[in-house]
Amino acid sequence: MKLKHLLVPSTMALILAACGNQAATEKTVDSASVETKVEKVVKAIAKPELGTFGIAMSDMDTAVKPGDNFFEYVNGTWLANTEIPADKSNFGSFGMLGDRSDDNVKKIIFCIV
């Protein structure tokens, strides 16, 4: 038997037990309802936030010569159009991923679906 087959049911039972579900505390667990609950949690927290990866040509300021100020050339339009939140000292993809991770942890801990 694969380890995955052992871990998934026990993990789902722990999630439901933490959420206060009566079925998880009994000796038998309805696997269909457990899988449905887990699918809802996964759908709630697995929303794409950053889009595609690569070079965002729309963020470049082509009015600036790359030899004069390369940073402004590459990021000029993004800098002009993006507002850094008041509670943050910087803002970017890593900050967005950190915020999303914090929200997902809160959803798991408090069973908010």
Provide the residue-wise pLDDT of the chain in tens; the chain has 113 residues.
Answer: 454 554 555 655 556 555 554 444 445 656 666 667 777 766 666 655 566 667 778 889 999 999 999 999 999 998 899 888 899 888 888 888 899 899 989 988 887 65
Long-range contacts, 62-68 (Cβ 8 Å, 24+): none
User: What is the structure's pLDDT at 25?
Assistant: 46
CB neighbours of residue 37 within 10 Å = 19
pTM of model > 0.85: no
User: What is the structure's pLDDT at 102?
Assistant: 93
Residue type, 47: K
User: What is the structure's pLDDT at 7?
Assistant: 52
User: What is the structure's pLDDT at 24?
Assistant: 43
Which residue shows structure tokens 């505390």? 25
Torsions phi, psi for 39 (to 5 deg): -60, -40
